[in-house]
Amino acid sequence: MSEVKKKSSWLWPLGLMATGLAGAAVMAFRGCWHSKMSWPVRAQEHSYQVCMGCGIKRLFDVDEFRAYGPYSYDLNRLIAWDRAHGGKVPREVPPSEKRPA
């Protein structure tokens, strides 16, 4: 006599999971491929670029004129990474001392 009303309760966690995953993906990438980077900005003896789309930062090698290293929203983290990897810190060399006599 008892009617077993099995609600599709499993749909709930599934739906929540999908929403959570989508949210996490948006949080991580914000649908941005960092293809449009700003001009290099100098800060704390380092140069870096900022993504025009999401604001993520990346170190920039002014000598070779290219970005390098990981992406991060935290500049201090990038600088720490740079130092940990030998640190290609661009130094200000006075023009008179640039070429040895």
Site for Zn ion in 4-33 (CB under 5 A): 32
Judging by beta carbons within 10 Å of its beta carbon (0-12, 13-18, 19+), is residue 46 exposed, middle or buried?
buried
Residue number, 15 or 55, with CB nearest to Zn ion: 55
Q: Write down the H helix ranges in the chain.
A: 11-29, 75-84, 95-98
Could you give the strand order of the β-sheet that contains 41-43, starting from the edge strand earlier in sequence?
A: 41-43, 46-50, 57-61, 66-72
- CB of residue 91 to Zn ion, shortest distance in Å: 29
Q: x/- string (CB under 5 A) for Zn ion, residues 32-71?
A: x-x----------------x-xx-x---------------
Residue number, 55 or 87, with CB nearest to Zn ion: 55
- CB of residue 73 to Zn ion, shortest distance in Å: 10
Cα–Cα dist 78/69, whole Å = 8
Using CB under 5 A, list all residues that contact Zn ion. Answer: 32, 34, 51, 53-54, 56
